[in-house]
């Protein structure tokens, strides 16, 4: 009888333990607990150029976490249990984007993120010198650098002028025909960022490279003056005396051929050769070097 009572009590105890175990709630893993809530503590930097690494301090980091930038999912990597990192795509256009963090359970947080234009860099300019005599395609100037884009702008002495985007490393423009002579500053601008200016020199002063004796007439002869930057109304100084293109047709005069050639028609008082000091003066008063030639 005693033996049967002990067996009955043992059976009741086992049934009670099984009931208690079945009623206990299942334990949640650390990963499940962390993915149920998202909080973003910082985004560094909050604005950056394409290609920049961004670090986010975040709670609830898990494998199922998603990042979305401007409507597109973006890959991320874990730095540690509270930080993740991602890289801004190199081709991302500048502007403001929505950065959204989505947890595995579908809850999300969105933040404004600004993508800055890439800071342009200019290495060289070619050519670095142009004469006023240069025309057409010969006035085309190319800047070599990096981070240029179709939206880049060309600054000539601080003023935006038309330019042509060639690649991320090359941009070209035509030197303004009306620009004054001297040194000019050229830069490339992306948004609010500009390159360090490069120098472009426009040479407007006349230059004599050679003088040769040309046609010989009965009482006159011609001196062919070759050089650069000659103008229609340039003036010739011969031993200090002025000879102009508007001179008398029957007397000494200067004939404009083109910007590289002038003809001086001279009426000498004697056929004996002598040293002549000759210099060209532009309408703006710029002068060439003085050339000495021996002629009647």
- Tens digit of pLDDT for each residue in 67-125? 999 999 999 999 998 999 999 998 888 899 999 999 988 889 999 999 998 999 999 99
Residue 8 or 127, more confident = 127
- 291/213 same-domain check: yes
Q: What is the pLDDT of residue 1?
A: 44
Task: Give the residue from 66, 88, 115 where a domain finishes.
Answer: 115
- 214/282 same-domain check: yes
Q: What is the pLDDT of residue 90?
A: 86
Q: What is the pLDDT of residue 135?
A: 85
Q: What is the pLDDT of residue 250?
A: 57
CATH of residue 251's domain is 2.60.40.10
Structural domain total, the chain? 3
Q: What is the pLDDT of residue 251?
A: 76
pTM over 0.85: no
- Residue range of the domain that includes 284: 207-295
CA torsion angle for 261, 265, 269, 271 (degrees, to 10)? Answer: 60
- 222/178 same-domain check: no
Q: What SS3 class is residue 21?
A: helix
Task: Give the residue from 81, 115, 149 where a domain finishes.
Answer: 115
pLDDT at position 10 over 80: no
Evaluate the omega torsion of the peptide bond into residue 45 and state whether it is cis, within 30 degrees of 0.
yes
**Selection from 60, 67, 66 nearest residue 31 by Cα:** 60
245 pLDDT band, cuts 50/70/90, is: confident
Q: Can you tell me the mean pLDDT for 185-189?
A: 97
């Amino acid at each position: 009888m005693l033996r049967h009572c002990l067996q009955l009590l043992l059976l009741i105890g086992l049934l009670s333990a099984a009931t208690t175990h079945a009623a206990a709630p299942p334990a949640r893993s650390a990963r499940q607990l962390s993915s149920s809530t998202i909080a973003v503590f910082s985004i560094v930097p909050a604005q950056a150029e394409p290609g920049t690494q961004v670090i986010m301090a975040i709670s609830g980091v898990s494998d199922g976490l998603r990042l979305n930038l401007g409507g597109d999912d973006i890959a991320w990597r874990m730095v540690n249990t509270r930080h993740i990192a991602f890289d801004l795509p190199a081709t991302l256009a500048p502007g403001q984007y929505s950065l959204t963090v989505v947890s595995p359970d579908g809850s999300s947080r969105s933040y404004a993120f600004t993508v800055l234009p890439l800071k342009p860099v200019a290495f060289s300019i070619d050519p670095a010198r142009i004469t006023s005599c240069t025309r057409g395609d010969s006035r085309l100037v190319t800047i070599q650098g990096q981070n240029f884009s179709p939206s880049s702008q060309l600054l000539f002495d601080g003023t935006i002028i038309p330019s042509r985007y060639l690649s991320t490393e090359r941009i070209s423009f035509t030197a303004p025909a009306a620009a004054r002579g001297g040194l000019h500053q050229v830069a490339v601008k992306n948004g609010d960022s500009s390159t360090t200016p490069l120098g472009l020199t426009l040479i407007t002063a006349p230059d004599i490279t050679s003088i040769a004796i040309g046609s010989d007439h009965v009482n006159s002869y011609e001196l062919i003056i070759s050089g650069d930057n000659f103008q229609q109304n340039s003036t010739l100084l011969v031993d200090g005396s002025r000879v102009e293109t508007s001179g008398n047709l029957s007397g000494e005069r200067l004939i404009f051929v083109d910007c590289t050639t002038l003809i001086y028609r001279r009426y000498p008082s004697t056929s004996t050769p002598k040293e002549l000091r000759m210099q060209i003066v532009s309408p703006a008063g710029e002068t060439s070097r003085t050339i000495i030639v021996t002629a009647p």
